[in-house]
Amino acid sequence: MLIYGVFIKMSFSRIDTLWVEKYRPKTLEEVVDQEEVVASLKNIMNNIQEMPHLLFAGPPGTGKTTLALVIARMLYGDKWREYTLELNASDERGINVIREKVKVFSQYFTPTKEVPFKLVILDEADMMTSEAQTALRRIMEIYSRTTRFILICNYLTRIISPIQSRCATFKFKRIPRELAIKYLKSICENEKVDCADDVLERIYEVSAGDLRRAINLLQSVVNVSGGKPKVRDVDEIVGKVTPGVIAGIIERLRLGEFKEAVDKLFEFKAVSGVDGQEVIKLILNELMMKNLLNPKTAEILAKYDFRMTEGAYEEVQLTAMLAELAGAFKGTG
């Protein structure tokens, strides 16, 4: 393992280094769980010519992007990259950029019997504003003769209904415990690592049905322990990655260690470069997980989420927010 690690350290050029990519399913059969989705997709793929636009919705790390790529492979085989445009709503600066890219990609394409349309995979579509989504709907219509869209989102409710009604919607569920652990075990086997059941259990618990996180954790824990992972290693790693860092910050607030919490947050923010609103989102999720979201804490988050858009310094707003949260926790004991 160590040798492997050193090798990778020398060159980051092989994406297979990352187990999440190495073990990303390439066929429908390999996909873990999501039986209903897989079954209805099989049906749709029987009559490719009539494939509608697809909308995948569900929690992170449940196979949405994976399935979209599987479909691309099913449609175009090895040449899938040629006919597929992968976009990320949160990466593109505005709907105009997206329109431009789709235009260039679809414009001079003539459908054939083998390749009846090109495929646009638009991930994180729910990060778009409703105006942008309205524009997106029009783009989908303009290029419908030559192009099919697969839209991917976490929250279906954040997709405007005109888009929903034009797509076949698939809801993805969190991966259940047994299946996830079974999958992790198969990875361990393949990598010839000896990973005890309690470690895998722990990994599942902290990743809460998110397979990407689970696989990432597994790989890290293997790296850190040098081949013989312990439950303790898992916990240690969790404290250093999202959302474990956020959990740590909240824990500090609950202990009344306000200054330390702020320090941790800024450290996290500085390295990751995430913006203030993203931080609030992460905190919101964490409070939800810990059952700490109540009218009081929710109001605090909402208040500062709003102020963040208006203010000059994110740090000032975030700090004031943490102070208020610390106060709220103190009140409840």
Partner 1 sequence: MKMLWTEKYRPRVLNEIVGNEEAKRELLKWIVDWQRGIRDNPGVLLTGPPGIGKTTAVYALANELSFHVVELNASDYRTAQSIYAKVGHLTQSNTLDSFTSGGVRRNILIFFDEIDGIDPKADTGGLKAVLDIASKKEVPIIAAANVPDPSSHKELLKSFKVIEFKPLTPRQISILLRRIIASEGLSISDEIIDKIIRSSRGDARLAVNLLQEAAAGVDIEFVSTPMENLPFDILMKRLSSSLSITEIRNLLNSNSSQIEDVFYAYFDMILRSGSISLEEKIRLLGEWSKLDILFGRMNKKRYFSLFRYINMLLPWLIYSANRAGAIYDGRIPQYRLRLFILNRGAREELNNLYNTYLKGRLHCSYRKFVLEVFPYVCGYLKEDEYPSLTKLCKKGGYGVTW
Give the interface with ligand ADP as residue ranges (CB under 6 A): 20-21, 23-25, 31-34, 60-66, 175, 211-212, 215
Phi then psi dihedrals of residue 153, to 5 deg: -150, 165
Q: Which does 125 bind (CB under 5 to 8 A by kind): Mg ion, partner 1, ligand ADP, none?
A: none
| Residues 6 or more apart whose Cβ sits within 8 Å of residue 199 | 221, 229, 230, 231, 233, 234
DSSP type of residue 54: E
Near partner 1 in 260-299, by CB under 8 A? 262, 264, 266-274, 278, 282
Provide the minimum distance between the beta carbon of 320 and ligand ADP in the complex, in angstroms, as a whole number: 33
Q: Cα(278)–Cα(98) distance, rounded to whole angstroms?
A: 22
148 lines the binding site for partner 1 (CB under 8 A): no
Per DSSP, 62 falls in state S
Binding range to partner 1, per CB under 8 A, among 16-24, 37-45, 97-105, 156-164: 16-24
Which structure tokens are listed for 247? 């959990």
Closest to partner 1 by CB, 202 or 213: 213
User: Which two tokens mark 119?
Assistant: 């495929």
Count of positions on this chain that bind partner 1 (CB under 8 A): 70
Using DSSP, state whether 167 is helix, strand or coil. strand
Selected from 34, 62, 65, 225, the binder of Mg ion by CB under 5 A is 65
Long-range contacts of range 256-264, CB-CB < 8 Å, 24 or more positions apart? Answer: 256/326, 256/330, 258/322, 258/323, 258/326, 261/322, 261/326, 262/318, 262/319, 262/322
Pick 132 or 153: Cβ nearer ligand ADP: 153
* Interacting positions 188-247 with partner 1 (CB under 8 A): 212-213, 216-217, 219-220, 223-224, 226, 237, 240-242, 245
Candidate list 73, 101, 254, 307; residue touching partner 1; CB under 8 A: 307
Backbone φ and ψ for 56, nearest 5 degrees, come out as -100, 125
Q: Which is nearer to partner 1, 287 or 325 (CB)?
A: 325
In the chain the first and final C-alpha atoms are separated, in Å, by 46
- Number of residues that make up the chain: 333
Applying CB under 8 A, which residues contact partner 1? 5, 8-10, 12-13, 15, 17-18, 20-21, 24, 60, 65-66, 69, 86, 88-91, 123-124, 212-213, 216-217, 219-220, 223-224, 226, 237, 240-242, 245, 256, 258-259, 262, 264, 266-274, 278, 282, 304, 307, 310-313, 315-317, 319-321, 323-324, 326-327, 330
Applying CB under 5 A, which residues contact Mg ion? 65
